[in-house]
Structure 1
């Protein structure tokens, strides 16, 4: 395949995020990368797609910066861009949470390689904890993982009470690429949990290095693919069509923009409901046209760095 998808993060202080954003945005434009990048005083977090050679140059340039020398890219192949636009934005945090005081670059849970995670995850003295949102783990999660019924990672501190029964166990946290685990595991340590670990590189790296064994369903991703296969060893489907309840891992957004729920909808029900999650949403006057994918994109102005937060949209070929 000609294109690559890069998933990455790094908690490392950036003294002037606004200036860094301008410089970094120009770099992405030069390399014709598309995707979402968040810059904050605490670090960098992004997912981008581009041609293989352009992605390779991007990785070399980013890692040449001493602040990001320890950054690890998760690299996947794709037949085309997995994004339609480029956003490089300054935000208070690189992952939206209610844990702005937490500094993972100073203290966080012990990193486990995919191989180490695999060796530990089924032991009796271990509990595996999914720190992602409900729409993510509903389509795929590790076998026997504890989920926390969160609509958003902001809810994590409120859910920690549910983990107190496991304080005498080793807690292994995981998420898509690792960025949420950095703050989640750091917060658990702050709350008195002693044996806290995290899957380094997240589900994506586990799939690449260990074949995704015992990850059930698909992994939700934040690009046009919506959800991807990670398990090539013992794959299974754990999600069900929201409408007919048939097994389905086909994830869509409801065609009603006022609902926009992330949910599984099989192809037959998708066609019948025109991409909506219910007949009520199907009848909504603002319902978007359904093209069979269940993915919808916002139009945006052409981007130029001096325009601040407006996005760059790839030219139509």
Structure 2
């Protein structure tokens, strides 16, 4: 039996005095002995936490007992090691950054796409009048995606609104959106409806729930997750690897963060190139003086950055 659980969840619900709530919630999580990352905003909660089964159950019971979060859908993974090394709870403007804060356009509590349970999504996804739309970032869908899904060339979810014109060609189709845990689809589907798309659906619970309840059928590759596992298996029915090593082109399911902390880019790299490149994406990063020691995992505890240093990619807790 696994020693720990990892919980993935979100809930759109109004939180008054969110900054104080975040501070109190951090204290509560630490008292339970949890590690993880939680975003608190006026619009709700978005979190991934890891701890003993007892601590995770106590956390879920407490969250669900709060009427504001009573409908929270927790996805639970059994893991052998904690998925985080610290506990962070941060107050931000949104629980998933879309750049759209007008409640008349984006308000998941009032209007979103029709939620499809995994079995219903599986039955609909291959119909002729259906488009399956991945609303995640490049580095996520390069690692794994549904067969024949439409993917978008975006670095962050905040780039999604700019893709609406590109998606206009599918307005006469049924649009089935999906993401890791469901949170991005709440806003993506709301925006599509606002822009005149009439038949919009979303995979309830995202890829993670689909893997648990539908065996992950037709999801190719692995699913990127926002913790030190970096990716998880989804498909137990007809799995295949679709991602390739950036350096040599060999098929590999392994995704890492570049060992150069001033880069930290997410990319796929085979073990052989990982050893040869010391976990770096390029020769320039490999020769960087602040290069971290590569231990084969490609996950690193966050290192403080020098003033005025810009990362190419920054991991954010979304989905």
After TM superposition, is the score higher than 0.5?
Answer: yes
1:199 and 2:207 matched: no
1:228 and 2:232 matched: yes
Aligned to 1:46: 47
Q: Select which of 259, 265, 270 maps to 1:261.
A: 265
3-state DSSP class of the match of 1:48?
Answer: strand
For structure 2, the residue ranges without an aligned partner over 5 or more in a row are: 305-319
3-state DSSP class of the match of 1:234?
Answer: coil
1:82 and 2:80 matched: no
Runs of 4+ aligned residues of structure 1 deviating over 2 Å after TM superposition are none
3-state DSSP class of the match of 2:186?
Answer: helix
Per-residue deviation at 1:19?
A: 2.1
Per-residue deviation at 1:268?
A: 0.6
1:58 and 2:59 matched: yes
CA RMSD after TM alignment: 1.0
3-state DSSP class of the match of 2:198?
Answer: coil
Query: CA deviation digits over 1:29-85, x for unaligned, max 9?
Result: 111111110111101110000000110011011000001111110000101210011
1:73 and 2:74 matched: yes
1:245 and 2:212 matched: no
Per-residue deviation at 1:299?
A: 5.6
State TM-score, norm by structure 2.
0.92
Q: How does 1:155-234 map to 2 (within 5 A)?
A: 155-234=159-238
Q: Select which of 135, 138, 141 maps to 2:142.
A: 138
2:261–2:303 CA contact under 8 A, matched in 1: no
Using the alignment, how far apart are the partners of 2:22 and 2:286 within structure 1? Answer: 40
Using the alignment, how far apart are the partners of 1:7 and 1:213 within structure 2? Answer: 21
Using the alignment, how far apart are the partners of 1:127 and 1:75 within structure 2? Answer: 29
State TM-score, norm by structure 1.
0.93
Aligned to 1:100: 101
Aligned to 2:308: none
Using the alignment, how far apart are the partners of 1:46 and 1:79 within structure 2? Answer: 20
Per-residue deviation at 1:225?
A: 0.3
For structure 1, the residue ranges without an aligned partner over 5 or more in a row are: 301-317
3-state DSSP class of the match of 1:21?
Answer: helix
Using the alignment, how far apart are the partners of 1:139 and 1:84 within structure 2? Answer: 24
Using the alignment, how far apart are the partners of 2:218 and 2:228 within structure 1? Answer: 25
Using the alignment, how far apart are the partners of 2:286 and 2:21 within structure 1? Answer: 44
Using the alignment, how far apart are the partners of 1:24 and 1:260 within structure 2? Answer: 29
Using the alignment, how far apart are the partners of 2:129 and 2:270 within structure 1? Answer: 39
Aligned to 1:279: 283
Aligned to 2:312: none
Q: How does 1:302-313 map to 2 (within 5 A)?
A: none
2:9–2:75 CA contact under 8 A, matched in 1: yes
Q: Paired residues, what number? A: 300
